[in-house]
Structure 1
Amino acid sequence: MLLFQLAFKYTKSQLQRPSYWLAVLSFALAISLMVVSLLVISAYEKTFEKSITQLLGQIQISYLSPNISLPKVLSYLQKEKIKVAKVTSFIHQEALLVKNGKVKGVLLEGLPAFEKKASSFFLKKTLNNTAITNFSKDRYGAYVPVLLMKDMSLQLGDAFSAVVAKSMGKNDFNRKVLKFYVKGVLDFGRSDYNRRYLLTSFEALQKPLKLSKKKTSGARLWLADKVFSEELSFKIQKHFSSKLIAQHWRQWANNLLEATKSQKKMIFLVLLIILIIAAFNIMSALFILIVQKTKELSILRVAGLSVTSIYAIFSLQAVFTGLLSLTLGFALGYLWAYLFLLIQSRYFSVLSQIYKLNHLKIGLPLWDMLIIIAVVLFLVLLTAIIPVYRAGKNSLPEGLSHEL
């Protein structure tokens, strides 16, 4: 307890010295650079995963054979004792969106009971029931993403058409015009989805295209434990062979995710070098403290304090300094991260143009946080070795006669 009190006392005395604060702030700034870098990269990885899985599922199954259906897939999963948290079928149809002379290629997605589930698909606003009665029964409600609304100059409640190609045989097809109105506006959080994905109900595609109610393009799965989702996608593919295509969500952007992971490692190593250099300021501050307390330490040694105890005191003092730097570093890191996102969202569009996402949700994984804390504490203890060793090796006569 005495050692702890002495270490705290010495740290408190250091707080009154500008040189100590300069050392702590320089170290905290280096920590904040590491924090903000890992924050942004981790937030990107997490937001990117969520932007895909919330719409397309952890595993997407596309049927290639008419003999494959959702019950058969679920039967296989039950046999393998896989717990599925959520499953939904979908109808996928490529189309050309037509409005006021403008034409744009889109992906029409038909989802079951979509009216009830619209809120789970980033619904921003929707048309009231009174306005819906103005449309004919052959015109169906569709939920259009924000950027597609802008590209096609659409407003909530506007009518528009979509042209699809309906197969008439192996070498022939027929055009079919589907009629829609904008019932709601969506924001998927991704620029590519916000320009192409248009969501509607099963009925809006089945009825005009004369599809069987049992006819779907595939199914999407969300597992109770997502850790096994990638392994399961390979198992499903192997079991059903060429009858379907099972894709894990990472397969849609594996190169981008691997590049992000490599960038994270490189940035960490570069910032670690900066952190090591900044840690020498802590060593200098500790040297100054030991020189100032030389006489006091000699008196304590005469009173019976061992050299080992002196080592412990200044090691604890280094840890206190490290914790203070960590607190300031994390606070500054989160501040830089929020400022970066604020400036980026208002003045630049680099994030959405290159990395597809419109926004990030800041959050540092526990593992990354523990790594930063461990590295910082290790560095302060490492840089404290030489000053602490000197503190324990000072001769008593020299120490007692020491004057600043």
Structure 2
Amino acid sequence: MKSSLMWISWRLLLSRKTLFGGTAPLALLGLILGVAALVVSMAVMSGFESTLQQAMTDVSGHVQVVKRSRFPDDWHELESRIRKAEPTLVGATRFVFIEGIMAHNGQISGVLLEGVDTDRINSVLRFKSRVLSGSDDLSQKSDVPLALVGSGLAKKMNLKVGDVFRVVVPITESVDPSSLQRKVGQFKVQGIMELGKYEWNERFIVTGLTAAQQVADIGDRYSGLLLRFPTASYARQAGFNLSRQLGTPYWVRDWRDSNENLFDAVSVERPAIFFVVAIIIFVAAFNISSTLFVNVVQRYKDIAILKTVGFGHKDIIKIFTFQGLFMGALGLGGGFILGLILCGLFNWAQGSLGLMSGMVYRVDGITVSIRLSDTIAICFATMLICFIATLAPARRGGKLSPMEGLRNE
């Protein structure tokens, strides 16, 4: 019985009086545009979040364990303590951060020099997929220490793979900390990278730990350890456990901590944008409701005939409810197709026209991402709104008596 009701509903929907006449095409078009807008907005928000997360984990690992003391210690012992507290640890590498000034071809720029263990870097960081030119291999033999340079910095300083540049690092004197000396280190560009964040691209340099320690004149001291775990989602729990186990001599932070405000903003804005854009679907659903009301009036004769041959009050309600749900499904499918097309156009436009400013959004570009949870939410919200919109006209059609429908026939 249910299948026959659906078949009748589908046949009535495809008639000239319903789907191809009156306001039905405009109502369906409005629903398609509303769903497409919702798909694009959620894909952009998800893409921004996933792009920023990927950049953080690729360049700085899942968790950073920073030493509060500057005195040298046995880092192997520290790694053993970490692995004992978190057996899921995938990899660990020492790192050191040094601020300095790059000088090249008469130009200068403030830079952040990061030194990492060249034999452990690939177990923690993911630079290979971010190399635009050159190579990410810092372990090759060279007379001049090799370095990886952010794409923005390379463009600003007119650097190419194989060029040699200098970094000037201020060093305080042990006798008089108020006076500074400068030390100059030379580095050779091994690769130019897209690091995912605007400020990193503009001032980030990665080199071997030994080369960074030598230019900063800090001996075998290091800033801490970069850690990688099986998944980025587990990093926060791992960081919390390590913070309790290691105690006050160490400062533990995960990949989300350094951009907590941005991720919090995305989590707050996501549902707000969803409900704001869903208003378009509400408006389109009311248009569908008005279309069904008109359809009920135009179908008085058909409704009367159906009731005459034995269809009940609930059967008529189901027929018009199915019509509204069919229109909702058509709008949902068309909206997703249009949304995917618009997402592709967005990817093309941001690459060709530079839609996103890194100075404003922290990233120079994003890859739109359509998550399964967003897809389920959009489908559920659209069909629920369309179902609610069909109840009033369906009930109106169900209340019609056969005599009223055949009065003028």
Q: TM-score w.r.t. structure 1 length?
A: 0.89
Question: Aligned partners of 1:111 and 1:335: how far apart in 2?
Answer: 42
1:102 CA drift (Å): 1.5
Tell me which moved more, 68-77 or 369-378.
68-77
How much identity, in percent, do the aligned residues show? 28
- With over 3 angstroms needed to count, the CA separation of the structure-2 counterparts of 1:99 and 1:349, relative to structure 1, is farther
Deviations 1:126-147 (A, max 9, x none): 1799xx99x7x2x222111111
Check whether the contact 1:6–1:313 (CA below 8 A) recurs between aligned residues: yes
Question: Aligned partners of 2:215 and 2:85: how far apart in 1?
Answer: 38
Question: Aligned partners of 2:254 and 2:310: how far apart in 1?
Answer: 67
- 2:327 is matched with which residue? 321
- 1:9 is matched with which residue? 11
Is the counterpart of residue 245 in structure 1 residue 247 in structure 2?
Answer: no
* Structure-to-structure mapping, 1:82-161, within 5 angstroms: 82-113=87-118, 117=122, 119-120=127-128, 122-126=130-134, 137=143, 139-161=144-166
1:78 CA drift (Å): 3.8
Aligned partner letter, 1:21: P
Is the counterpart of residue 182 in structure 1 residue 189 in structure 2?
Answer: yes
Question: Aligned partners of 1:127 and 1:120: how far apart in 2?
Answer: 8
- 1:266 is matched with which residue? 272
Check whether the contact 2:100–2:112 (CA below 8 A) recurs between aligned residues: yes
Check whether the contact 1:55–1:121 (CA below 8 A) recurs between aligned residues: no
- 1:25 is matched with which residue? 29
Matched residue of 1:44: which SS?
helix
- 2:52 is matched with which residue? 48
Matched residue of 1:384: which SS?
helix
Is the counterpart of residue 63 in structure 1 residue 67 in structure 2?
Answer: yes
Question: Aligned partners of 1:83 and 1:209: how far apart in 2?
Answer: 34
Question: Aligned partners of 1:170 and 1:257: how far apart in 2?
Answer: 44
Question: Aligned partners of 1:256 and 1:200: how far apart in 2?
Answer: 28
Question: Aligned partners of 1:99 and 1:298: how far apart in 2?
Answer: 87
Matched residue of 1:30: which SS?
helix
Matched residue of 2:23: which SS?
helix
1:69 CA drift (Å): 5.0
Question: Aligned partners of 2:330 and 2:130: how far apart in 1?
Answer: 41
- 2:309 is matched with which residue? 303
Work out the number of aligned pairs and report it.
397
- 2:337 is matched with which residue? 331
* Among candidates 206, 210, 215, match of residue 199 of structure 1: 206
Aligned partner letter, 1:204: A
* Structure-to-structure mapping, 1:166-177, within 5 angstroms: 166-169=171-174, 171-172=176-177, 174-177=181-184
Question: Aligned partners of 1:11 and 1:72: how far apart in 2?
Answer: 73
- 1:396 is matched with which residue? 402
Deviations 1:295-344 (A, max 9, x none): 22222222222221222222222111111111111222232333334334
Deviations 1:250-280 (A, max 9, x none): 2211122222333323322322333212211
Aligned partner letter, 1:298: A
Matched residue of 1:84: which SS?
coil
* Structure-to-structure mapping, 1:66-77, within 5 angstroms: 66=71, 70-77=75-82
Aligned partner letter, 1:287: F
1:210 CA drift (Å): 6.1
1:88 CA drift (Å): 2.6
Question: Aligned partners of 1:112 and 1:146: how far apart in 2?
Answer: 22
- With over 3 angstroms needed to count, the CA separation of the structure-2 counterparts of 1:402 and 1:81, relative to structure 1, is farther
Question: Aligned partners of 1:68 and 1:236: how far apart in 2?
Answer: 18
Question: Aligned partners of 1:182 and 1:9: how far apart in 2?
Answer: 69
Question: Aligned partners of 1:349 and 1:62: how far apart in 2?
Answer: 37
1:116 CA drift (Å): 8.1
